[in-house]
Amino acid sequence: MLCLRGADPLLHSCLEGLFQQDYPSYKVQIVVDHQDDPAWDYVTQFLERNPQKIQYNLSILRDKSTQRSLKCSSILQAINQLDSDCEIVAFIDADAIPESTWLRELVTPLGNPEIGVTSGYRWYLPTDSQHGSLVRHLWNYSATIMMQFLQIPWGGTFALRVETLHESGLISLWENALVEDAPISRSMALRGLRIEHIPSLFLVNRESCDLAGFLQWSQRQSLFVRLYHPKWPRLFALCAVNILLSLIGVVAFYLAVFSQKWMIAMSLVSIQVSETVSLFWMLILIRRNIHQTLEANGEIVGSSSFLYQTRFILAVPLCVVVCSLTTLLTQNLNRIKWREIVYEFEDAWSIRMAEYKPYKGKDDSVDSLASL
C-alpha cells in the first residue's frame, strides 16, 4: 500500500522498486489524495511509460474525513479494496526506495505467530551539507534505538497479516487517528504480539532539509509518540533532564568565568568536550555497523571527509539540544501543519482537519531533493 499526497522527490525510484520485487505473488495498491495532486499525473505517466506485469490498483481518495488524517483515510480505503485471498499487507511511503528483496525480507518473519508486525528503518543519508540535513542524519541514531525500545514500527515500511489487522482493532483505531504507526505498539502489546525490526531493512533517504524544516518535522514525530505511546512520560522526562543539565552547565561556566574561577571553567569545558567526543565515537560505531549493512545491500554510502567529520562532531550538541527542545515543546501542542493541511486535536482520538485543499507544493518537487 502506497498513499500519496504530493510528488515526493524520489517517487520515481520508489515506484520502480515496488514493481520489481522478487516476490511470487503481490499486488500494489496506490491511493492518491486528489486528481489535481501532482502525484496523480506523475504516477499515471509512470504507469503509461512502464507497462506492468504486476497487478496494481490506482485510485483517488474518496472519503476525506475531517476526523482523521488524510493518510489514515487513504489506508482505510486501500484496506477496503483488498482482494479476498490477500493474506499479508505491507505498507510503504514514497520517501522509501525498496530493493528487489524488500517485500520478501519484510514478510518472511511473519511466519512466526508470535510476531504481529515487521518493520524496517529509515536512514537519512543526505548528499548536501545543510544544518537541517546533518541534524536529521544525527537524529537517525537515537530514533533507531528508540524504535526498538518503544516497540514502534516505521510507517514507511511495515507489514502484518490481514488476520492480525482485523483482530487487533487497528482499523477502528485508524478511523480516528492522526498517524498509522504509533498506535500499533499498544495494540500489539495488548494481544501479546511483538514488533520485529529487521536489521537488514535500512532504507536510505537522501532528501535534504533546512533547519526550520527539521524543527517542524521532528516536532511532528515527537507529537505522534506523545499522543499514542504509553511511555511518552519517560521520554519527556529524559529530555527535560537533558535540557536542565545543559542549562546548569552553561550557567555554571559563565559564573565561573565571571568570578575568575578558571580551573572550574576549564573543568566544565573539559567535561563537555569529553561527553561530545564519547558520544561521537559511539555514533561512529553505530554508523559503521549500519553502513556495513547498507553496503552489503549494494548501497553506496561514500566516505566522510575531514571537514564533514568536523561538522559532524560540532552538530552533535546542536542535535541533542534541538531534539530535546522540540520534544518538550510538543507537550502542549494542539495544532500541526502536515503537507499543507492543518490538524487540530484535543487528545489522541479527537482529531479535526481544519480545512481541506488539494496539495500544490513546488512545481519542481520531483526534480529537487528537498523533503516535502
Q: Label residue 131 by pLDDT band (50, 70, 90).
A: confident
Helix intervals (H) in the chain = 11-18, 38-49, 70-80, 102-107, 131-150, 162-167, 170-174, 184-190, 211-228, 232-258, 262-296, 306-330
For 101, the enclosing helix (H) or strand (E) is none
Q: Which residue has the cell 565515537?
A: 281
Q: Is the pLDDT score of 365 beyond 60?
A: no
Mean pLDDT lowest for which of 101-105, 153-157, 234-238? Answer: 234-238
Q: Between residues 262 and 310, which one has the greater pLDDT?
A: 262
Total count of residues recorded for the chain: 372
Q: Taking residues 342-359, what's their average pLDDT?
A: 94
Nearest by Cα to 181 from 123, 213, 220: 220
Q: Between residues 114 and 291, which one has the greater pLDDT?
A: 114
Pairwise CA distance, residues 341 & 220, whole Å: 13
Pairwise CA distance, residues 258 & 272, whole Å: 19
Q: Is the pLDDT score of 64 beyond 90?
A: yes
At 238 the pLDDT is: 81
At 303 the pLDDT is: 63
Q: Label residue 304 by pLDDT band (50, 70, 90).
A: low
Pairwise CA distance, residues 293 & 296, whole Å: 5
Pairwise CA distance, residues 275 & 172, whole Å: 46
Per DSSP, the three-state class of 27 is strand
pTM of the predicted structure, to 2 decimals: 0.90
Q: Taking residues 242-269, what's their average pLDDT?
A: 83
Residues 191 and 168 sit within 8 Å (Cβ to Cβ) = yes
Q: Is the pLDDT score of 250 beyond 70?
A: yes
Nearest by Cα to 302 from 134, 125, 97: 125
CA distance between the termini of the chain: 20
Phi, psi of 351 (to 5 degrees): -100, 140
At 305 the pLDDT is: 67
Grid coordinates of 227? 499522543
At 11 the pLDDT is: 95
Q: Taking residues 288-306, what's their average pLDDT?
A: 76
Q: What rounded mean pLDDT belongs to the chain?
A: 89
Q: Label residue 363 by pLDDT band (50, 70, 90).
A: low
CA 16 → CA 20, 55, 213, 314, distances in Å? 6, 14, 28, 38
Question: Diameter of the chain by CA atoms?
Answer: 77
CA 347 → CA 83, 223, 230, 332, 335, distances in Å? 34, 11, 13, 11, 11
Torsion of CA 204, 208, 212, 214, to 10 degrees: 0
Q: Which residues of 32-42 are buried (b: 16+ CB within 10 A; e: fewer)?
A: bbbeebbbbeb
Residues 293 and 123 sit within 8 Å (Cβ to Cβ) = no
At 341 the pLDDT is: 96
Pairwise CA distance, residues 318 & 173, whole Å: 36
Q: Between residues 224 and 329, which one has the greater pLDDT?
A: 224
